[in-house]
Amino acid sequence: MLRRMAILKIARLGHPVLYRRAEPIDDPTAPELRRLVADMIETLEDAGGVGLAAPQVHVPLRIFLYRVPEQRASHGEAARPLSVVINPEVVERSAETESDWEGCLSIPGFSALVERPAQIALRGVDGAGKRFTRRAAGFHARVIQHEADHLDGILYPDRLTDPRAMGFTEEMGRYGDDIAASLRRRGPESAAAGATRSGGMQDD
């Protein structure tokens, strides 16, 4: 039997599904959920992103996918293949924060400097229905927090380090370092303090 998968349409900034709190998943092993995961994987691969949350494909459920590409792994962590996270809870957040560049498949063409806790602990259920707790740092912690925010109706413009540190990816690639440096000089205290350019900007 031919297995049919589909590339799903991605909701863009302004669509109400992105601002709604997503619903918990009762049965992480339900066949419909497996189909959704397969379609989300195909959609993410097609879009070339590093993360995708269900509300971004117009499904208001608490599930997201993410991966950590080799060139983004930091803080002594290894790259991570694609993970499925169901009913996630960020249960710990470090006081220490970092600013780094983020993109989002729902905000195509744009990048921004976003300040987030540098380390977190994530609790959730994996694609096989097993509960897990996972610690994450650096980009790994960032992508998890970005995707978990999607499930609470939060997009990265709500968390900008500074409104001036958002622009077209092309322009930020050219001028982002200067913008981060000028924010650092001007303060406030932690703005862009830990800004690093660990790799190309990627869409989460």
Residues lying near Ni ion in the complex (CB under 5 A): 104, 204
Minimum distance of Ni ion from residue 184's CB (angstroms): 25
Ramachandran bin of 52, using left for φ above 0, alpha for ψ from -120 to 50, beta for the remaining angles: beta
Q: Which is nearer to Ni ion, 33 or 104 (CB)?
A: 104
Query: DSSP character for 20?
Result: S
Q: Which is nearer to Ni ion, 19 or 193 (CB)?
A: 19
Q: Which of 42, 147, 170, 189 is catalytic?
A: 147
Minimum distance of Ni ion from residue 204's CB (angstroms): 4
Minimum distance of Ni ion from residue 168's CB (angstroms): 17
Cβ–Cβ contacts within 10 Å for residue 158, how many? 11
Dihedral angle over CA of 154, 100, 143, 68, nearest 10: 160
Q: Which residues contact 32 (CB under 8 A, 6 or more apart)?
A: none
Q: How far, in Å, CA of 21 to CA of 23, rounded? A: 7
CB 129 within 8 A of CB 119: no
Minimum distance of Ni ion from residue 172's CB (angstroms): 16
Give the bridge partners for 196, in sequence order.
100
Residues in the chain: 204
CB 75 within 8 A of CB 67: no
Minimum distance of Ni ion from residue 188's CB (angstroms): 26
Q: Which is nearer to Ni ion, 188 or 200 (CB)?
A: 200
Q: Which is nearer to Ni ion, 90 or 193 (CB)?
A: 90
Q: Which is nearer to Ni ion, 160 or 193 (CB)?
A: 160
Residue sitting closest to Ni ion (CB): 104
**Is 42 labeled as catalytic in the residue annotation?**
no
Ramachandran bin of 171, using left for φ above 0, alpha for ψ from -120 to 50, beta for the remaining angles: alpha
Question: What six digits make up the tokens of 89?
Answer: 């809870």
By annotation, the residues acting in catalysis are: 147
